[in-house]
Amino acid sequence: MLVDERRSRILNIVEIEGFVGLQSLVDQVAVSESTVRRDLEVLDRNGQIRRTRGGAAYVGESLTDFEDRRVKARPQKRQVARTVAALIEPGETVLLDGGTTTLEVAKQLQGKSLQVITNSLPIVNVLLNQPKIELIQVGGYLYPKTGVALGPLAVEAIGRVHARRLVMSVGGITERGLFNSNALLVETERAMMQSAEEVIVVTDSGKLGHAALARLCSLADVDRMVVDGGITEEWRDKIGAAGVALTVVESESGNGEGQR
């Protein structure tokens, strides 16, 4: 089991049980006590759990399914999606990563003449009957929480295609880079990044300054970031310093879109 996979499993166990003892984690994950202790220290530093005497307690929000997450920050995601869709020209080949924000992007692409490659079953369902869109579905292990294909089969399939742009979402962004909550997802996203000429990250501003379990890449590996108007000046400067083109989408009641 990979390190990120093991820590993801530990985090899931702690979340489900609320509190779990050290020996219980050792038994469930089938690794040594010292390994579990090191993993708990990392998760504690990331703010995802709290170490206690003899175990660990969960301190974050409970995992929510895809439909619940889709509603969260939906107006901001819709505004971001409209801006990204406007960047995509007819005739392009576009890779769409799975996620709630990229699902909104897919809705905005309806009616355009495009090739769309995606590993997301929800996105396939949105674009399936669009006569102008040539749809290519990436197969693999279907992650039940999001309906996204992951793993070696997905990585192999993605390695055989090439796209003008990749539009992807992430679980968190810090100065260290981009993060997501699943090691298999990160592996698949890295393959997508290698298959695209331009990497566009779509996110709501609430994810800035927060990490998730698995690190995906550095900020400098991204070509463009599109974010809602809740972004702070500090984060505008950090993203600009990394050489990332930043598009800030102001609220619908604001003065339009700002770019930097």
**E strand residue ranges, 28-78:** 49-52, 55-58
pLDDT of res. 99: 84
67/144 Cα distance (integer angstroms): 12
Beta strands at 196-203 and 172-174: parallel, antiparallel or unpaired: unpaired
pLDDT tens-digit map of 29-43: 999 999 999 999 988
pLDDT tens-digit map of 166-201: 999 998 999 999 998 778 889 999 999 999 999 999
Return the ∠ at Cα 127 (arms to 125 and 129), rounded to 5°. Answer: 90
22/242 Cα distance (integer angstroms): 40
pLDDT of res. 254: 43
Neighbours of 145 (CB within 10 A): 12
Strand order in the sheet with 172-174: 172-174, 177-180, 214-217
- Give the global pTM: 0.72
Q: Which amino acid is at 123?
A: I
**3-state class of 56 per DSSP?**
strand
Neighbours of 74 (CB within 10 A): 14
For the chain of 260 residues, list the mean pLDDT of each consecutive stretch of 10: 84 76 92 93 80 74 47 70 94 93 92 96 90 95 81 94 96 93 87 97 90 90 95 95 94 48
pLDDT of res. 258: 46
248/214 Cα distance (integer angstroms): 26
Structure token pair of residue 41: 């220290």
Residue with tokens 């990436």: 138
Q: Are the beta carbons of 120 and 110 closer than 8 angstroms?
A: no
Q: Find all residues with CB under 8 Å of 41, minimum gap 6, and list them.
A: 51
pLDDT of res. 257: 43
